[in-house]
Amino acid sequence: MNSPLRQGKLRLQRLFVASWLYEGAGGVVKFSVVFVSVAIAALSLAGCAANQASNGTQAYASARGPQTAPKTSDRDPWTLPTPFGMFYSEVPRQEVAYQSNASPGSIIVDTKNRYLYYVTGKNQAIRYSIAVGAEGYGWHGTSTVSMKREWPSWTPTPGELKRFPDLPRYMEGGPENPLGARALYLGSSLYRIHGTNEPWKIGAAVSSGCIRMSNNDAIDLYDRAKVGATVIVR
């Protein structure tokens, strides 16, 4: 299933999602299944772009960078492709104790453990599961939320089009857009915290540099975060 998606030959059309919760020693995990039909279409895209990171270091992200990666962490999601759809695990967002000197409203991205924390008060935060940059695509630094968009559109950069000439020149926002339901733009860079059209990859190191969240979590964070909020990527 991964190979044709990387080649941009197929698109998964989600019909509906069923979910259930399991509570074990490691906490609550939600298991979901995306029931799909396969249709000939243009692309399945990662949706990020190369640009100067806000801390002054060059970070790279291609529109269709690495889409799969070997298991590198206990946070890697459990997935099971089937002829009927993609079964996958999710870690629901939750309020947690979190030691930090950051002011309420700040966003802290823990790339190693693949969590994003929205600071709500002294040593308190809401924790979200995220997908982070694959090897060679990650970055670290401090930025701010410069812009927020609902169902953002996506335009590949000239460098991306040179590497991948079959990319669309422009993609309207919507369920099939790789930026998902919401996006928070970071500084003057092209990096974003955004939703996804591939929720089964949340928890993995597979993105092209942007921080991915499930669409439900992206909407929740979007409603909480303010333009100008500090974003720390570690």
Active centre residues (catalytic) = 194, 210
Phi, psi of 155 (to 5 degrees): -125, 115
- Per residue, what are the HEC states of 28-97? EEEEEEEEEEEEECCCCCCCCCCEECCCCCEECCCCCCCCCCCCCCCCCCCEEEECCEEEEEECCCEEEE
Q: What angle do CA 60, 86, 65 make, to 5 degrees?
A: 10
Residue type, 31: F
Distances from the Cα of 18 to the Cα of 21, 67, 88, 177, 226, angstroms: 11, 24, 10, 21, 32
Residue type, 194: H
C-beta contacts of 15-24 below 8 A and 24+ residues apart: 19/90, 21/92
Q: Within a 13 Å sphere around the CA of 89, how many CA atoms are in the beta-carbon half?
A: 14
> What is the rounded CA–CA span in Å between residue 154 and residue 97?
36
